[in-house]
Amino acid sequence: MAQAVAAAIDQRRHLIVQAGTGTGKSLAYLVPAITLGQRVVVSTATKALQDQLATRDLPRLAEALEHHPFEFAVLKGRSNYACRQRIDEIAGGDEQMVLDGGGASVRAGPLGREVRRLVLWAQQATTTGDRADLSFEPSETAWAQVSVGARDCPGAHRCPSGPVCFAEAARERAGVADVIVVNTHLYSTALAAGADILPAHDVVVFDEAHELEDIASSAFGFDVGPGRLVVLARATRPLLADPAPSVAVEQAAEVLKQVIAPYLGAALPRPLDEPDQERLTTVRERVSALQSGIRRAMKDEDDRSRHLRAQQSMTHLINDLDAVLNLDDDDVAWVEGTSYNPLLRVAPIDIGAALQDSLWSKPEGPTAIMTSATIAPRLGERLGMTPGSYDQLDVGSPYAYDEQALLYCPLHLPDPRDPGFEAAMHEELRALMEAGAGRTLALFTSWRSMKSAADALRDRAPWTILTQSDLPKPALIARFAGDEHSCLFATMGFWQGVDVPGTALSIVTIDRLPFPRPDDPLLQARRAKLGRQAFEMIDVPRAATLLAQGVGRLIRTRSDRGVVAVLDTRLAKARYRWSLINSLPPMHRTRHRSDVEAFLEPLRNGTLNSRAAPTPSAGSASSDRP
Ligand code: SF4
């Protein structure tokens, strides 16, 4: 992988690399980038990986590469840093700016106390202002009082606190670093804005690249909900002698809610119905009237910063409302959330085209390295890369999957769409738990399916069955890992990020192939655009990625050993099966439970260290490999 990354950098050619868990991916891209003297941005999807790079991999590498000294920095989105200007305003007695849900000052209440604690921390205890450096976890409401988002900040050159701004200082540190670690949302926002949010760089590495499509989609879009109007109304009220325009905007939140709530879970019609169009226009007019009111109301220089922030928020909001009122053919708008708190989201239907324009086709743009343990089929195409314009490589896994793991698909089960499937699947799951003496992570595609299996098996199995509703995720995983024979039943949040090495996790079961919901409005719009290719381009790759992530929970070290049971016979029968199977590590495959029992025998009788290769029965699915 390191050689391929070096060649990609040298030839300025984009590269996609699949590299299994435990490969040492971060070293394989960092070492060539640093030793070739390139400035590199590493973009991660999760905070866990960002932390791992900043606190473990990069410091170790800095020690090891003593002949190639380099600097590194972490850069986050603006709202992750305390805003010096807000801190000054609150500390200077800006009572009305600290508001509770009803708009009253809460300086004396619990929120006020929390905000004061944050103000003291920002003034005296931190040099970075980074929320991650806090020794306590603030509430979202309190943090919102002491920070600003990119859409509210007027920019350092127009802000009195610009010279001492924490976010600007982080940007300056990043500006002189050789390696800059960011998250993919920030990187995508920079691409969407077309602005120099990030320092110029030669190479960008998208680690956890399987998340890039969805994160970029969200960053290239925007959302509008009643909450945004309420926050704006309450932030502007203290700036006005006559509060009428801000009261009107707060009331418009209810109007917006009435327009969008009926479309919950669905796409907004195109064009909008006439009455909805009129009501949205009313919302826009009220924000515009507030903007004029604020412009007229600016009294003195002291107020200037607050006014600029309010103007900035209103300009963004008006632009977003205009975009909804004149929805582009290339965008889709849909409603998420709840009927009480609906959120209208807008995103480009074809994120590939947006990335092509903003990244791949830029002659002076960086060389992109995309890597993940699970690269779905046709990722490059879906991201808008021209065929032939990039290289792709699979460096495999450091684990001996053919010795360490067995993939089982019980062909005697009914099709998952058959009414008899659920009972038969529960029985199969029970038999597997018995074969492994517990030690099972059972992954489900829905809460309903998880609950029903837990209810059906709790009294029929001698092992503790933990479910996702029992405890928060870290505590649940610790409990599962600590009780050798327990079983954990969980849904989507556990298909990634569960790392339980050793024998406590020896079986992973998957109830159904994890295809995306057919009624997801964004995917529906993408399917409609792709026509007959949609299933191959959208549904199969997404199922393949999630399936590989679920399967990836099993083998976490070279001495782990276990069974993956996919209880959906479409894995062995459907015409698209090889796209899924080829996305998985190269395990022996079987359709016979007796093979599973034989494979798990050493675990049951306590001689696990036996490392004999599995011996699938005659007629097992292994002979079916293309
Ligand atoms: S530039 Fe000013 S308003 Fe913007 S984040 Fe920095 S201190 Fe806050």
Average pLDDT value for residue range 85-98: 74
Look at phi and psi of residue 351 and say left if phi exceeds 0, alpha if psi is from -120 to 50, else beta: alpha
> Could you tell me if 423 and 413 are in contact, meaning their C-beta atoms sit under 8 angstroms apart?
no
Of 74, 81, 83, which Cα lies nearest the Cα of 55?
A: 74
Kindly state the average pLDDT of the residues 578-597: 95
Q: Work out the pLDDT band at 22, boundaries 50, 70, 90.
A: confident
pLDDT of 310 > 60? The answer is yes
Tracing tokens 């049971």 back to the chain, one arrives at 565
Which pLDDT score, from 0 to 100, does residue 608 have? 54
- % pLDDT > 90, the chain: 74
> Mapped to the 3 state alphabet, what secondary structure does 536-583 carry?
HHHHHHHHHHHHHHHHCCCCCCCCCCEEEEECCCHHHHCCCHHHHHCC
pLDDT grade, residue 607 (50/70/90)? low
Contact (Cβ atoms closer than 8 angstroms) between residue 554 and residue 508? yes
In the prediction, which pLDDT does 100 show?
A: 42
Please give the distance, rounded to the nearest whole angstrom, from the Cα atom of residue 150 to the centre of ligand 1.
9
CA of 52 to the centre of ligand 1 (A): 28
Count of positions (residues) in the chain: 626
For residue 105, pLDDT beyond 60: no
> Please, is 108 exposed, middle or buried when counting C-beta atoms within 10 Å of its C-beta (0-12, 13-18, 19+)?
exposed
Whether the per-residue pLDDT at 471 is higher than 60: the answer is: yes
pLDDT for residue 95: 47
Residue-level pLDDT at 586: 92
Distances 479 to 79, 465, 585 between C-alpha atoms, Å: 34, 11, 28
pLDDT at 615 over 50: no
| pLDDT band per the 50, 70, 90 thresholds, residue 610 | very low
pTM of the model: 0.86
DSSP alpha helix (H) spans, 332-420:
351-355, 379-382, 401-404
The atom of ligand 1 lying closest to the CA of 84 is 7
Per DSSP, the three-state class of 493 is helix
Question: Residue with the nearest Cα to atom 5 of ligand 1?
Answer: 83
Comparing 320-324, 547-551, 570-574, 600-604, the range with the smallest average pLDDT is 600-604
| pLDDT at residue number 94 | 59
Question: Does 307 have pLDDT greater than 50?
Answer: yes
Mean of the per-residue pLDDT values for the chain?
A: 90
User: Is pLDDT at 10 greater than 70 in this prediction?
Assistant: yes
Measured in degrees and rounded to the nearest 5, phi and psi for residue 53 equal -65, -45
Q: Predicted confidence band at 300 (pLDDT cuts at 50, 70, 90)?
A: low
> Do 340 and 226 touch, CB atoms closer than 8 A?
no
Residue 84, ligand 1, Cβ within 6 A: yes
Average pLDDT over residues 480-490: 95
Pocket test residue of 89, 157, 165, 305 for ligand 1, highest count of atoms within 8 A of CB: 165
Site to probe by mutation for ligand 1, drawn from 83, 147, 197 as the one with most ligand atoms within 8 Å of Cβ, is 83
Nearest atom (ligand 1) to Cα of 155 = 1
pLDDT confidence bin for 494, thresholds 50/70/90: very high
Q: Is the CB of 85 under 6 A from ligand 1?
A: yes
pLDDT(538) > 80: yes
CA distance 439 to 454: 15
